[in-house]
Chain A
Amino acid sequence: MATTTATVPEQETYLNAGYGIKSWLFTKDHKRIAILYLITITFFFLVGGTFAGMIRLNLLTPRGALVSAETYNKLFTMHGVIMIFFFLIPSIPATLGNFLLPMMVGARDLAFPRINLLSWYLLVAAGLFAIFAMLAGGVDTGWTFYTPYSTSYSNTWVIATAMGIFIAGFSSILTGLNFIVTVHRMRAPGMTWFRMPLFVWAHYATALIQVLGTPVLAVTLLLIFCERVFHIGIFDPSLGGDPILFQHLFWFYSHPAVYIMILPAMGVISELISTFSRKPIFGYSFVAFSSMAIAVFGFLVWGHHLFVSGQSFYAGLAFSFLSYFVAIPSAIKVFNWTATLYKGSISFETPMLYAFGFIGLFTIGGLTGLFVACLGIDVHVHDTYFVIAHFHYIMVGGAIMAYLGGLHFWWPKITGRMYPEGWAKLSALVIFLGFNLTFFPQFILGYLGMPRRYYAYPPEFQVLHVLSTAGATVLGVGYLIPVVYFLWSLKYGPVAGANPWRATGLEWKTTSPPPLHNFDRTPVVTTGAYDYSTVIGEGAHVG
């Protein structure tokens, strides 16, 4: 250890507080658990990404270039299951949130460190179920598990996959529970609610959705399990059961789940925009409350997934109307971020590039969301690539952009090392271009009538599909570059000071990497978040 720290005196950090595999697998330190999550979800991202790559390769030619129709069904199902439940939902909260939330509120740890570790083990156990299902032969129901196909007809590994998601749900619930209690009960002296960073507000709102929504998915999957094992018939039309009830229950969680993915991303973006324009966020309380509003409205819009499923016309009207409502708090955020930039002293480090990418792509994703929230247009584009493109702009263009931006931003805090700025800027650019090349053609494809989940298509769609596959290749390369230079930086990156970005926030007031209990003394907070007059330029930005 002493060899790598020739330039800095040996300090006590969470990384050298213990050595060996046991000190990691039995750790109760939220920072180490965040690293465990980081490694786990990176693995799942690579798995899910491989499935995506195979999907795109198969769609190179109109009759399917790579796999059979049955295999294709399994590929898109497992791509969705892995990416949603094992990557996107834990992504920002379980890694960055886990690492930063206690520090941002000035606490030594989350309220329940052992439950925090348990939640990681649950995710790993859940992942083993999912991987078992994949290796044993896969599952082909789509990540939505619609009945009666999933209960009566599919001959694939539905139960193992559903159990995996069921267990992953408990992991998510426990993370949310921990965050809620930590925000309520663990704030440092002087850290009032309206002095909290917007990252914390966003995670609080996310935690509410995790706690309120996930149990409904859990019970729904449990019923799928009971249907397949005991044939209890709750969703079976031949007994008088209603398959559409399954869709209601499923989307009651799975629509708010979109906000589990995007709200933490918005929290990250608030921190990035403020830091790199050196201004407090314009309309702080509006941005804070818009997170809460998104969490609340998010629970009232699930029916827009059922416009063509046979729900009543009046329900469709109400859900369409309510769906437009979600645009308001989302737009408030985008407007306030751009207003923050106004007359700011903006610099263009990598995290800020990701933040700009997020704002642009999220806006496109959000506006096309209004298209599909509109009853008439949705009938035309429902279950087409238009919808695929729309939600990938939110989840990949939004959530993953913010995740990567946040990872670059807090990398020096997490590891004590800077990443190589030149390579990072290059990869941000590659990812942005690759992403748009992949998904923009899909808007056109969908509008022209290309349905989702089809492994073959009419020849006139081939040019757009080839463009999309080419973009996916670029995007894949873009994602691999950071994996390489992040690993490289662990040993060779320039040593980062405590606060390389001259950012506000309690996490920057402690050393990098932070000591075991985050702060030598519990900090006392006297100002709101984003008060740049108090930041002393220390350890000026390297690289």
Chain B
Amino acid sequence: MASQVHQVHEETAALREQFDTAAQQRDASTLGMWVFLITEIMFFGGMFLLYTVYNHLYSDVFALASHSLNEVIGGVNTAVLLCSSFTMVLAIRSAQLGRRKSVMMFLVMTMLLGMAFLVIKGFEWAQKFQEHHVPGPSFHLAGTAMQGHAQLFFSLYFAMTGLHALHMVVGCGIVAFLLFQTWRGKFTAEYFTPLDIGGLYWHFVDIIWIFLFPLFYLIDRSKG
């Protein structure tokens, strides 16, 4: 009975010594990433809570301030990110099939799309500086007397999209690392857990944007 249950440590290069089997290692790594993503949800959650409260208190000013954001650029950026998630999935699918070259190609595409998002975002932010929509002494939003409330909108906008962009930068770094590991031939059709959990992280950062986009760009557009 005992020897039947007792599993011996499988000796393979990718298996770390604390694990008995490759399946155990994969399950542990995946669970670890999910738990980490839960902490990320709580991390962003604090800011979403602040957004909710202030949007509730100052809904008119928030709707007005929202109109100063360009929903077309925001929409294009959303599409760019969704495409990057798609190429990430294709990279993992290629890994499952053991096609190293297409894994690398799709990872490069993912990274380029991620960078494209950041570049577009950068232009958007730069425009806000020119329009005096950055919180500070020279802040001004036309059409409302409640400049303080409008500043709160843009404080939240910069804090939340900034934090999201920071996660995108980290994500690009992760994809670059995965690309390097793929190039070195670390992954096989049997072992590609880092790609899997790297992909989880990438999708998570995407999902954060999927919430940020309507919350900041699409408030009350019907009246606009």
A233 within 8 A of B: yes
In-complex Cβ contact of B38 among A211, A220, A241 (8 A): A211
Q: How far is the CA of A396 from the CA of B114 in the complex (A)?
A: 50
Say yes or no: A185 contacts B20, CB within 8 Å: no
Among B2, B27, B35, the one with the most A-chain Cβ atoms within 10 Å of its Cβ is B35
Q: How far is the CA of A168 from the CA of B6 in the complex (A)?
A: 39
Q: How far is the CB of B153 from chain A (nearest CB, A)?
A: 10
Q: How far is the CA of A108 from the CA of B17 in the complex (A)?
A: 8
Residues of B within 8 A of A113 (CB): 16, 18
Q: How many residues of chain B have a CB within 8 Å of chain A?
A: 43
Residues of B within 8 A of A108 (CB): 17-18
A449 within 8 A of B: no
Residues of B within 8 A of A233 (CB): 135, 148, 151-152, 155
Residues of A within 8 A of B213 (CB): none
Q: How far is the CA of A238 from the CA of B83 in the complex (A)?
A: 42
Say yes or no: B5 contacts A234, CB within 8 Å: no
Say yes or no: B46 contacts A219, CB within 8 Å: yes
Residues of A within 8 A of B155 (CB): 226, 232-234
Among A181, A213, A242, the one with the most B-chain Cβ atoms within 10 Å of its Cβ is A181
Is chain B's binding surface mostly helix, strand, loop or mixed?
Answer: helix
A428 within 8 A of B: no
Q: How far is the CB of B57 from chain A (nearest CB, A)?
A: 7
In-complex Cβ contact of B7 among A219, A517, A522 (8 A): A522
Say yes or no: B39 contacts A173, CB within 8 Å: yes
A112 within 8 A of B: yes
Q: Chain A: which residue is nearest B43 at the CB level?
A: A215
Residues of A within 8 A of B32 (CB): 111-112, 115, 177-178, 181
Say yes or no: B148 contacts A211, CB within 8 Å: no
Given A111-B18, A181-B31, the answer on whether A524 and B5 have CB atoms closer than 8 Å is yes
In-complex Cβ contact of A232 among B20, B38, B159 (8 A): B159
Say yes or no: B46 contacts A216, CB within 8 Å: yes
Q: How far is the CA of A222 from the CA of B166 in the complex (A)?
A: 13
Say yes or no: A189 contacts B35, CB within 8 Å: no
Say yes or no: B135 contacts A522, CB within 8 Å: no
Q: Quick one: which of B129-160 are within 8 Å of A by CB?
A: 135-136, 146, 148-149, 151-152, 155-156, 158-159
Q: How far is the CA of A320 from the CA of B173 in the complex (A)?
A: 47
Q: How far is the CB of A19 from chain B (nearest CB, A)?
A: 20
In-complex Cβ contact of B57 among A173, A211, A218, A240 (8 A): A240
Residues of A within 8 A of B158 (CB): 232
In-complex Cβ contact of B42 among A111, A184, A186, A215 (8 A): A215
Q: How far is the CB of B132 from chain A (nearest CB, A)?
A: 15
A314 within 8 A of B: no
A231 within 8 A of B: yes
Q: How many residues of chain A have a CB within 8 Å of chain B?
A: 47
Q: How far is the CB of B35 from chain A (nearest CB, A)?
A: 5
Q: Quick one: which of B13-44 are within 8 Å of A by CB?
A: 16-20, 24, 27-28, 31-32, 35-36, 38-40, 42-44
Say yes or no: B18 contacts A107, CB within 8 Å: yes
Given A216-B46, A232-B158, the answer on whether A181 and B28 have CB atoms closer than 8 Å is yes
B119 within 8 A of A: no
Residues of B within 8 A of A521 (CB): 6
Residues of A within 8 A of B28 (CB): 111-112, 181, 184-186
Q: Which of B47-55, B71-79, B183-191, B204-212 contacts A (4 or more CB under 8 A)?
A: B47-55
Residues of B within 8 A of A17 (CB): none
Say yes or no: B7 contacts A189, CB within 8 Å: yes
**6 closest Cβ pairs, A-B complex:** A239-B148, A215-B43, A219-B46, A232-B155, A109-B18, A215-B42
Residues of B within 8 A of A (CB): 2, 5-7, 16-20, 24, 27-28, 31-32, 35-36, 38-40, 42-47, 49-50, 53-54, 57-58, 135-136, 146, 148-149, 151-152, 155-156, 158-159, 163
Residue pairs across A and B with Cβ atoms less than 8 A apart, 23 shown, are A108-B18, A113-B16, A177-B35, A186-B18, A190-B5, A211-B35, A212-B39, A213-B42, A215-B39, A215-B46, A216-B43, A219-B45, A219-B46, A226-B159, A232-B155, A233-B135, A234-B50, A234-B159, A239-B152, A240-B152, A241-B152, A249-B46, A249-B50
- Additional A-B contact list (11), CB under 8 Å, known A113-B16, A186-B19, A223-B159: A108-B18, A177-B39, A184-B28, A211-B38, A212-B42, A215-B40, A215-B43, A231-B135, A234-B156, A240-B146, A242-B53
